[in-house]
Amino acid sequence: MPELVNETIGGLLDHAVNTYGDHSAFVFIHHKVRWTWRQFSDEVDRVAAGLLCLGVQKGDRVGIWSPNRPEWVLTQFATARIGAVLVNINPSYRVSELEYALNKVGVQVLITAVGLKSSDYLAMLRDLAPELQECTAGKLKAKRIPSLRSVVQMGQAAQTGMISFEQLKSLAAPTQVNRIGLIASALVAHDPINIQFTSGTTGQPKGATLTHHNVVNNARFVAHAMRLGPSDRLCVPVPLYHCFGMVLAVLACTSSGSSLVFPGESFDPSATLAAVANERCTALHGVPTMFVAMLGADDFSSHDLGSLRTGIMAGAPCPIETMKRVLSEMHMPEVTIAYGMTETSPVSFQSAIDDSLERRVATVGRVQPHLEIKVIDENGQTVPVGQAGELCTKGYSVMKGYWGDDARTNEAVVDGWMRTGDLATIDAFGYCDIVGRLKDLVIRGGENIYPREIEEFLYRHPAVAEAQVFGVPDERYGEELCAWVVLKSGANATADELRDFFKGQIAHYKLPKYVRIVESLPMTVTGKAQKFVMREMMVKELGLGR
């Protein structure tokens, strides 16, 4: 079992440079950028020195609002070098969400892309801080976001009131760059280094605060589980703003000297397949919906994926049929399933590369090193092996807390145990099966129904590409089941045919009363289906009471 280390993110990068300095580190295909570990580290130091010139000090919050771009990873390591706290801003945020995030944690410097697809970041910023039109760069005083003093715009030329990322890299003289080593040597691994906002489906987003110790060790153990090494090349279509990209990809590869290949700024199935084939990637990360999209791409068969070996499928429940196709058709015999949450840095369970097919398609593996887990009932008592209850995690990976929110921190973390909100079973061999979300549990006429069981059954139907099952109000039974289904390209099936598929196969009370064939599912940017959106739409459509 690998040991825990008291290492900072900067120390992890130093080790990569000293050990793998001239090896390929980062490839950003869309941006035509390629760095070795040594070249990357030099660029990081220029950015870190530029931040010092802007007045950033240890503990200050530096926000980044961007899709997957080279500037993202530079900022990730540059802030860590000088002890600033990186604040990950969701690329899909709009004005009110951005305002909340910046003010909640007191962001002093915001590094922003110009935009992404239909999102005009700079227009939203000017709406939020019209003072940018008249202020000197670095001297912003905005009424609605009083903590923010500097906006750094990615690219060569910046708009009024902002400085460009290229300018940021050129602010410092060599003597200031040399200060970085001295600053880094005084940093402590247990210092907070990152704030990630969790989903705001039940109120305002919470800022989970993570340390070097949290994410560095989690990344190391994840890399170890996949047996990553300097000869591996990981394709990264998942977003950097999320733990999946930032920790399970970037920091995991930094710990192992593996190369990172970014197909584009956001996920595109064909671009991802082309990146794997052209760059001869040995590993690929993705959420299940990404793998579904790649398997269903029109040009899937034209790409040679024979170089693939491993990777991670995580972020949402993994349909069994999808996993089987990934193993066979995408040539990923050592693909792993990982489970976790932002608040646990993120991975707490991961399957092994040599686990049986059954273990890898039916469970999320076994607990990661140096973590404790338990499954509890509604009274907080540990349940017997094989019985469902709420999964709790304890150990090095548990966050410091939600930034500026002791009440919600104390609700989530009890005596060091992080309450995940997920319903799980642990078998006699330690394998974990996530059977649903505590809040997704449907109680129909006194019967407990786990939507994931119904979803997995739907995936057996040859026409079904994606399925989500949730509860809607019902006067007689309290709740009834509703299923939303996306069909495979070219496939045909009616709602009645899907209902007939269930008959005689599962208990009558588990049969969805409502089945809807839809073109797509409402998703978060990380590929998680938004059941609360589906539920609200069905309640409105059916005229049901809440």
**Is residue 5 within 8 Å of 11, Cβ to Cβ?**
no
Beta bridge partners of 152: 111, 163
Q: How far is CA 251 from the centre of its chain?
A: 13
Q: Give Cα separations from 240 to 15, 75, 247, 251, 336 (angstroms).
A: 22, 11, 9, 11, 20
**Is residue 462 within 8 Å of 487, Cβ to Cβ?**
no
Q: Quick one: pLDDT band at residue 453, thresholds 50, 70, 90?
A: confident
Mean pLDDT of the chain: 93
Region 169-198 average pLDDT: 93
**Is residue 282 within 8 Å of 41, Cβ to Cβ?**
no
Compute the distance between CA of residue 502 and CA of residue 511 in angstroms, rounded to an integer.
7
Region 521-536 average pLDDT: 85
Q: Give Cα separations from 79 to 53, 184, 193, 217, 230 (angstroms).
A: 13, 10, 8, 18, 25
Nearest CA among 531, 516, 522, 512 for reference residue 474: 512
Nearest CA among 360, 376, 124, 101 for reference residue 225: 360
Structure tokens at 225: 């589980």
In terms of C-beta density within 10 A (0-12 exposed, 13-18 middle, 19 or more buried), how is residue 110 classed? buried
**Is residue 236 within 8 Å of 262, Cβ to Cβ?**
yes
Region 215-223 average pLDDT: 98
pLDDT digits (tens, 9 = 90+) for 375-391: 999 899 999 999 999 99
Q: Is the peptide bond before 462 cis (omega within 30 degrees of 0)?
A: no
**Is residue 328 within 8 Å of 320, Cβ to Cβ?**
no
Kindly report the pTM of this predicted structure. Answer: 0.87
Spatial neighbors of 185 by CB under 8 A, at least 6 apart, are: none
Structure tokens at 522: 């409402």
Domain boundaries, the chain: 9-197, 211-390+418-438, 441-542
| pLDDT at residue 474, rounded to an integer | 85
Task: Look up the CATH number of domain 441-542.
Answer: 3.30.300.30
The CA-to-CA distance between both ends of the chain, in Å, stands at 50
**Enclosing H/E stretch for 143:** none
Nearest CA among 147, 164, 161, 132 for reference residue 47: 164
Q: Do domains 9-197 and 211-390+418-438 have the same CATH topology?
A: yes
| Structure letter (DSSP) for residue 246 | I
Pick the more confident residue, 544 or 229: 229
3-state secondary structure 435-489: EEEHHHCEEECCEEECHHHHHHHHCCCCCEEEEEEEEEEECCCEEEEEEEEEECC
Handedness of CA 456, 462, 464, 470 (dihedral sign): negative
Structure tokens at 272: 């991802």
Compute the distance between CA of residue 282 and CA of residue 306 in angstroms, rounded to an integer.
9
Q: Quick one: pLDDT band at residue 202, thresholds 50, 70, 90?
A: very low
Region 503-507 average pLDDT: 81
In terms of C-beta density within 10 A (0-12 exposed, 13-18 middle, 19 or more buried), how is residue 106 classed? middle
Structure tokens at 366: 């076994």
Q: Domain 9-197 class?
A: alpha beta
Compute the distance between CA of residue 303 and CA of residue 463 in angstroms, rounded to an integer.
24
pLDDT at 399 over 50: yes
Region 264-274 average pLDDT: 97
| pLDDT at residue 435, rounded to an integer | 85
DSSP 3-state helix, strand, coil percentages of the chain (rounded to 5)? Answer: 35, 25, 40
pLDDT at 203 over 70: no
Compute the distance between CA of residue 312 and CA of residue 318 in angstroms, rounded to an integer.
11
**Is residue 190 within 8 Å of 83, Cβ to Cβ?**
no
- What is the fold of 211-390+418-438? Rossmann fold (3.40.50)
pLDDT digits (tens, 9 = 90+) for 66-120: 999 999 999 999 999 999 999 999 898 889 889 999 999 999 999 999 999 888 9
